Amino acid sequence: MGKESVRFACHHCGHCCTEVVCLPTPWDVIRMVRMEGANPYEFLEFLTAEEITGVEDDDPTWLEVGDERYLMALRRSADGCHFLDKKTRYCTIYEARPILCRLYPFAVQETEEGEFLGFTLHDDVGCPKNRDGVHKTAPLYALYQDDCLHQTDYQDLVNVFNARTDADKRPEDFIEMFVHYEKSSPSHN
Ligand code: SF4
Ligand code: SF4
């Protein structure tokens, strides 16, 4: 194992789809709307700092509305992610799922200069990290690079949203900045 591959096998324990909050990028959301026809006003929620842990105060994707701050997340219930089939425990939008879901629990390794070294598994996540499988790192790295590009654009969108001073601004108004979805949808007030 090394730069070309990383040992890991998902044993479908369900932890990452029930216990982990998934923070999609706007481009993840667009893909889910286009491929699945999913309603972003139903499958997204906006979490306050009290409702999420493990995100830095200075994370550039905090949405500012009045005196409160929010992060865009996939909606969850006590049963887990909005897209988790409650019977089979499989993802119902597997082909369109967010990049974060695709990269979990892999962690990229780079030099300080940004040279790619390989992938390992995140130390601080709850995945059992079974090592009885092998994944090629090239597709993972392509996903990682794609996500980095999107993060920059994501921050630009957030900056524009945060600069808005309209008194009736709501966190879900962020959605209409990057995706068009019929506002007549029953779940969008
Ligand atoms: S989108 Fe799919 S893979 Fe991602 S957390 Fe939800 S159910 Fe799991
Ligand atoms: S936590 Fe790890 S083993 Fe469990 S479903 Fe997620 S990726 Fe698979």
Q: What is the mean pLDDT of each run of 10 residues along the chain (189 residues)?
A: 89 93 96 96 97 93 97 96 94 96 95 94 93 96 92 95 96 94 55
Contact 15, 126 (CB under 8 A): yes
Ligand number nearest CA of 93 is 1
Contact 117, 109 (CB under 8 A): yes
pLDDT for res 1? 58
Among the atoms of ligand 2, which is closest to the Cα of residue 15?
A: 1
* Number of Cα atoms under 13 Å in the Cβ half of residue 127: 22
Ligand 2: does its nearest atom lie under 6 Å from the Cβ of 10?
Answer: yes
The structure tokens listed for 73 are 């997340």
Among the atoms of ligand 1, which is closest to the Cα of residue 94?
A: 2
pLDDT for res 176? 95
pLDDT for res 128? 95
* Distance (Å) of CA 101 to CA 16, 57, 152, 169, 181: 8, 23, 19, 30, 24
Among the atoms of ligand 1, which is closest to the Cα of residue 84?
A: 7
pLDDT for res 181? 80
> Dmax of the chain from CA atoms?
55
Q: Which residue has the tokens 């879900």?
A: 172
Ligand number nearest CA of 17 is 1
Ligand 1: does its nearest atom lie under 6 Å from the Cβ of 96?
Answer: no
pLDDT for res 186? 47
Whole-angstrom distance, CA of residue 74 vs CA of residue 119: 26
